[in-house]
Amino acid sequence: MIHHLSLPVSDLERSAAFYDSVLLPLGYAQVWIHEVDSGYVEAAVGYGLPESEDEFAVRLRTEDLDVPGDGFHIAFGAPSREAVDEFYQAAIKTGGQDNGGCGNHPEYGPDYYAAFVFDPDGYRIEAVLDAERATH
């Protein structure tokens, strides 16, 4: 349904380092980088499956950010429980904050395995075991 999604961020270098580390265990990598001094109108980094188009991007915004509150979040599908765990560990190590822990979350379903964190700008993000992609 959604072709791609972009988030404005206050520090592109910090956000790129964060998303590089948390998306790697989920199988995603940088697929492009836009730099203003290279002729682009904005600095941004796009993520997707290797050698494909972007599905998610972070875009530098110098004005004040208005991060959505409770009720808005982005959930990334994970191929395994181990990938969810690695996502969580990487998030905490690279400037993210816990937003509900990592593990089984029966409040969302009997087999709901996920990690909930805030990214460095305060966006609510999640990695959730995607049963269709699961390896374990």
- Which pLDDT tens digit goes with each residue over 40-93? 888 999 999 998 999 999 999 988 888 999 899 999 999 999 999 999 999 999
E strand residue ranges, 23-135? 29-34, 44-48, 56-60, 74-78, 97-104, 113-118, 124-129
pLDDT at 136 over 60: no
User: pLDDT class for 7, splitting at 50, 70, 90?
Assistant: very high
What is the predicted pLDDT for the residue at 126? 97
Does residue 43 contact residue 22 with C-beta atoms inside 8 Å? no
Domains delineated in the chain: 5-63+72-129 (3.10.180.10)
